């Protein structure tokens, strides 16, 4: 049985904890929050037996094997660093860090301490995405030609909230666009040759909308992410012989359609067993049992490459996080 600790219980951590209804070889052992009342409430809701008074107490507990970090973006680096230096395996919510330089440093710390580290880009582990990737690799739609995706929602304009607050690593690319980029990279298996982008910077000086084209030479990926309007949130993968469509919340996919020109469509329907986070949890546990330091599904170089692309796009509009 692998014992998990959760740092920073909140909305996303709730979904993570719910996934354990489908996990039979791992358990939620403990939780820590900056607010003990929040931690106690979370523990009661998810039947977690231990509530720690501080992050440090949880990190140094000999009973905990791996720690899931669900704190706001700007705290990821420091919190993960503490965990890794204490010898604890880490699954850290996306983005792993706020820039590529921090991510490189964190993976080096993991390597130096011989400890597992993975970015929680959960979409890559979903059964639907595994099948979509298989379709692309098997050239069911021929050679890749273009990927088009959108991830947008009209966010409440609370400038103290993390989405719009630069002090909290606000901005749409780190929050939403990371899915457009990382899942493109998941299919491409290489870095684009060039990137062109158009970014709308709001009054709080964070990126509120971004449209970009990643040019891989033989195919392109075009995406829009936005806090300013509701988009269709789909991804379409076009090939020389057909297309694959993932409708609505492509990052949370349970359905996909394969259309090969001249043939009847193939419709895929693979509901999550639980919250959808169970698949990445199983990957982490498998890696730990095999003594691996990273996952091949989202290896360090791909996490770093995705953040490098975000750095490049934000750099063109002179956005740099004040604490990085």
**Is the residue at 83 inside a domain?**
yes
Q: Tell me the pTM.
A: 0.96
Segment 134-193, tens digit of pLDDT: 999 999 999 999 999 999 999 999 988 889 999 889 999 999 999 999 999 999 999 999
Are residues 153 and 102 both part of a single domain?
Answer: no
Q: Is 276 domain-assigned?
A: no
Q: Are residues 131 and 117 in the same domain?
A: no
Q: Given 240, 271, 302, which residue is the final one in a domain?
A: 271
pLDDT at 245: 98
CATH of the domain at 214: 3.30.360.10
Q: What is the pLDDT of residue 96?
A: 98
- Examine residue 222 and state whether it is found in any structural domain, yes or no: yes
Nearest to 317 by CA among 208, 236, 225: 208
Question: 153 and 22 share a domain?
Answer: no
324, part of any domain: no
Q: pLDDT for 238-278, tens place per residue?
A: 999 999 999 889 999 999 999 999 999 999 999 999 999 99
Looking at the predicted structure, is the pLDDT value of residue 322 above 80? Answer: no
Both 180 and 249 in one domain: the answer is: yes
Q: Is the pLDDT of residue 321 over 90?
A: no
Q: Assess contact for 64 and 82: CB atoms under 8 A.
A: no
Is residue 74's pLDDT more than 80?
A: yes
Q: Are residue 154 and residue 247 in the same domain, yes or no? A: yes
Residue 42 lies in a domain: yes
| 312 is a domain residue | no
Contact residues for 60 (Cβ-Cβ < 8 A; gap 6+)? 86
Can you give the pLDDT at residue 161?
86
Q: What is the pLDDT of residues 85-127, one digit of tens each?
A: 999 999 999 999 999 999 999 999 999 999 999 999 999 999 9
53 and 113 assigned to the same domain: yes
- Give the model confidence (pLDDT) of 273-313 as tens digits: 999 999 999 999 999 999 999 999 999 999 999 999 999 99
Residues 105 and 212 in one domain: no
146 and 248 together in one domain: yes
My answer on whether 87 and 223 are in the same domain is: no
Domain containing 39 — which CATH number? 3.40.50.720
Domain span at 77: 2-121
Which of 241, 271, 301 corresponds to the end of one domain? Answer: 271
Segment 61-70 shows an average pLDDT of 98
Looking at residue 119, what is its pLDDT?
98
Same domain, 98 and 198: no
**Which of these three, 271, 289, 307, is where a domain ends?**
271
Query: Number of folded domains in the chain?
Result: 2
Assigned token pair, 34 = 């900056």
100 and 140 inside one domain: no
Q: Does the residue 78 lie in any domain?
A: yes
79 in any annotated domain? yes
- Cβ(260)–Cβ(272) under 8 Å? no
pLDDT in tens, 3-27: 999 999 999 999 999 999 999 999 9
- One domain for residues 150 and 236: yes
Q: What per-residue confidence (pLDDT) applies to 147?
A: 98
Rounded-to-integer distance, Cα 8 and Cα 301, Å:
26
Q: How high is the pLDDT of residue 323?
A: 67
* Mean pLDDT confidence for 130-135: 98
């Amino acid at each position: 049985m692998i014992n998990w600790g959760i740092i920073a219980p909140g909305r996303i951590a709730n979904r993570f904890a719910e996934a354990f209804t489908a996990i039979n070889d791992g358990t939620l052992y403990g939780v820590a929050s900056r607010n003990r009342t929040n931690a106690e409430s979370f523990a009661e809701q998810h039947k977690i037996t231990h509530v720690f008074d501080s992050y440090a107490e949880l990190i140094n507990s000999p009973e905990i094997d791996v720690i899931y970090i669900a704190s706001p973006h700007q705290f990821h680096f420091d919190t993960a660093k503490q965990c890794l230096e204490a010898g604890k395996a880490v699954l850290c919510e996306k983005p792993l860090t706020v820039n590529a330089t921090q991510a490189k440093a964190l993976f080096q710390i993991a390597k130096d301490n011989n400890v597992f580290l993975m970015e929680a880009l959960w979409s890559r582990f979903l059964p639907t995405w595994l099948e979509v990737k298989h379709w692309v690799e098997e050239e069911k739609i021929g050679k890749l030609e273009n990927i088009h995706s959108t991830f947008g929602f009209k966010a409440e304009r609370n400038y103290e909230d993390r989405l719009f607050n630069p002090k909290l690593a606000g901005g749409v690319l780190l929050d939403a666009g990371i899915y457009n980029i990382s899942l493109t990279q998941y299919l491409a298996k290489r870095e684009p040759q060039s990137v062109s982008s158009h970014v709308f910077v709001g009054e709080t000086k964070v990126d509120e909308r971004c449209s970009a084209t990643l040019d891989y030479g033989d195919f392109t990926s075009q995406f829009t992410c936005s806090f300013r309007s509701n988009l269709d949130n789909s991804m379409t993968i076009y090939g020389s012989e057909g297309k694959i469509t993932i409708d609505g919340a492509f990052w949370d996919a349970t359905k996909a359609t394969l259309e090969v020109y001249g043939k009847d469509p193939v419709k895929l329907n693979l509901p999550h067993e639980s919250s959808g986070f169970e698949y990445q949890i199983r990957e982490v546990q498998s890696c730990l049992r095999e003594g691996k330091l990273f996952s091949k599904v989202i290896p360090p170089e791909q996490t770093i490459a995705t953040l490098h692309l975000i750095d490049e796009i934000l750099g063109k509009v002179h956005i740099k996080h004040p604490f990085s």
